[in-house]
Amino acid sequence: MVKVLRIALVISRVVVAVAFVTRTNSNNRRGVSTAALFMQTEEAGVQTEAPPVTKTKTLGLLTFDLDDTLYPIQPVIDEANAAFARAMESYGFPNIQPEDIDKTARDIREEISERDGPAAAAVLSHTEIRTMAIRREMEKIILERKLIATADDWATPVESLSNIVVSHAKKWAKTAVSESIVQAVLNAWEMERHHAAERNLYPEVIDVLREIKESHPGVVIGAVTDGKANPLLMTFTLAPFFDFSLSWEDDQGGRSNFFKELNTAETNADLKWIYNAAMEKYQELAAANAALAQNTVSDPNKEWIHVGDDLAYDVGGSAQCGAKTILVELAEKYGQTARLRFEAKNQPSWSTTSRLELEKRKVMNAAAEKRVNRKIAFLSRLPEAINDILNE
């Protein structure tokens, strides 16, 4: 008896399904919309599901700027500078203030700009200028000690020493600086920079990256930065989500050409070199991945999206190479300071950018405005912004 009832139930369901299909085909021939069909079937008591929303494209490559995009740069630099001061003291150079390295770096850029021209100052990488600043701070202290010792030997005040004696002392101080100690202090600065970035990561970042990874299987995520930060070294936070990292300092030739153009040419300097490198890196990784090897970014259904806070560098540069862009112009609570560089009265303490370079960057910013595909004020909106672009 139970078996007979079950068979009857199955037959009744088949009859309803056939009737529904017949009605649907008939309605379609009469031009009835899909939405109307859903309404009719609901009224008839038949449960249906709306067709899934499919994305027009899929996310192949997602690249990020780092500073002021995934964490605020000001506290990160402040904490790295504090580590610099501690390292200097541990190697016998006390009384250094954390902000001294930023001030000295700015002084060095200005001196080189006046002596050799703006382009020569601009091409100096962050690592180069920071290394020079550490060395100069050491030279100052060594010189001061040498002059005091000489004055004591001669039983005369330091200010009474002749220019010849002071000149010789300066030359001696330069040779007395240990390159290994300079490198050790630089390493301490860079290590703390990565630790500080992990501590100051914007609260939503990890959840957002996890959601993106889950929603876009096979996506390759990379970093493209003009600094020395590397998410692969941020073991406890960003490292599990990133596949590669590219710094402008990885290609000094391309970087030098860009800054020479920026400071000498009337037209906008070309940033494609670093983003072309990102695309090449993606293609290498895609070729090594069986799933992506058959459908790389050259497939029109694969999209590349770059996320960053800098109009000229992030939006303008990546868009030149075919990326869609998301400008991260965050709400005040996030503490972004990078864009303050373009306001003469509010220069961040860490900025060593020359006034001439800033003026050129403003022109590039204006040109990049029209290349923004989406703009977000909260990082929690990033997954939605990505989907919006893919659905276009």
Using an 8 Å Cβ cutoff, are 303 and 351 in contact?
no
pLDDT tens digits, 345-368: 667 777 777 777 787 888 888 889
Identify the burial level of 84 via C-beta atoms within 10 angstroms of its C-beta, where 0-12 means exposed, 13-18 middle and 19 or more buried: buried
Q: State the average pLDDT over residues 103-122.
A: 89
Of the options 3.40.50.1000, 3.40.50.410, 3.40.190.10, 3.50.50.60, the CATH number for the domain spanning 58-72+201-390? 3.40.50.1000
Alpha carbon distances (Å) from 340 to 77, 203, 265, 350 = 15, 22, 25, 11
Quick one: pLDDT band at residue 24, thresholds 50, 70, 90? Answer: very low
Query: What mean pLDDT is reported for the chain?
Result: 82
Q: Could you identify the residue written with the tokens 């020395």? A: 228
What residues pair up with 222 in beta bridges, in sequence order?
63, 244
Q: Phi-psi category of 124—alpha, beta or left, where left has phi over 0 and alpha has psi -120 to 50?
A: beta
pLDDT of res. 11: 40
For the chain, which residues make up each domain, given as ranges? Answer: 2-43, 58-72+201-390, 79-186
pLDDT of res. 17: 39
What's the pTM value of the predicted model, to 2 decimals?
Answer: 0.79
Cα–Cα distance, 352 to 371 (Å, whole number): 27
In the predicted structure, residue 390 carries a pLDDT above the cut 50: yes
Exposure string of 132-143, with b = 16+ CB inside 10 Å and e = fewer, is bbbbbbbbebbb
pLDDT of res. 268: 54
Of all residues in the chain, the percent with pLDDT exceeding 90 is 55
Residue 260 C-alpha from the chain's centroid: 23
Q: Name the most confidently modeled range: 25-34, 122-131, 175-184.
A: 175-184
pLDDT of res. 259: 65
Torsion of CA 355, 357, 359, 361, to 10 degrees: -140
User: What tokens appear for 357 in the block?
Assistant: 């370079």
pLDDT of res. 299: 64
Cα–Cα distance, 274 to 276 (Å, whole number): 5
